[in-house]
């Protein structure tokens, strides 16, 4: 089953971290680390709704749902996010780039590939 981006958002437009960790079969601590946030950002209600937390959650959700059809599953997309070095981006992984605040570069890279460009 391929997830559409909307599957991870509530009616208010917030990314549902609980749904994301459930679908990925990981903990909130693991997700927080993989997107460059503290565990509290995903466990405290006031922090979960913050612009910074939601922005990072949105970024990773967009990357994963973009990769999922190519990877074959959400779990495989997560593995790609965490471990695949992206040559034109200094051989950094998507995770390293997102944590460094460079999610836009990952997005641009994926758009380039989707349009038929070379990796």
Nearest to 26 by CA among 6, 42, 13, 12: 42
Specify whether the CB–CB gap between 88 and 109 falls below 8 A.
yes
| pLDDT tens, residue by residue, 100-109 | 999 999 999 9
Percent of the chain with pLDDT over 70: 95
| pLDDT tens, residue by residue, 42-98 | 999 999 999 999 999 999 999 999 999 999 999 999 999 999 999 999 999 999 999
pTM given for the model: 0.89
When pLDDT is cut at 50, 70 and 90, the band that residue 119 belongs to is low
* 25 φ/ψ angles, rounded to the nearest 5 degrees: 60, 45
| Residue of higher predicted confidence among 114 and 89 | 89
* 86 φ/ψ angles, rounded to the nearest 5 degrees: -100, 105
- Give the whole-angstrom CA distance, residue 38 versus residue 36: 7
Q: Is 92 helix (H, G, I), strand (E, B) or coil?
A: strand
Q: What is the DSSP letter of 16?
A: -
| pLDDT tens, residue by residue, 68-80 | 999 999 999 999 9
Query: Would you state the pLDDT for residue 81?
Result: 97
């Amino acid at each position: 089953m391929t997830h559409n981006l909307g599957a991870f958002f509530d009616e208010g437009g917030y990314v549902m971290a609980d749904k994301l960790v459930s679908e990925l079969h990981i903990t909130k601590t693991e997700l927080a680390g993989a997107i460059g946030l503290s565990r509290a950002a995903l466990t405290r209600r006031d922090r979960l709704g913050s612009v910074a937390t939601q922005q990072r959650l949105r970024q990773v959700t967009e990357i994963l749902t973009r990769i999922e059809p190519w990877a074959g599953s959400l779990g495989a997309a997560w593995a790609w996010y965490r471990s695949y070095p992206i040559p034109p981006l200094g051989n950094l992984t998507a995770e390293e780039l997102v944590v460094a605040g460079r999610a836009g570069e990952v997005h641009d890279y994926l758009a380039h590939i989707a349009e038929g460009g070379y990796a």
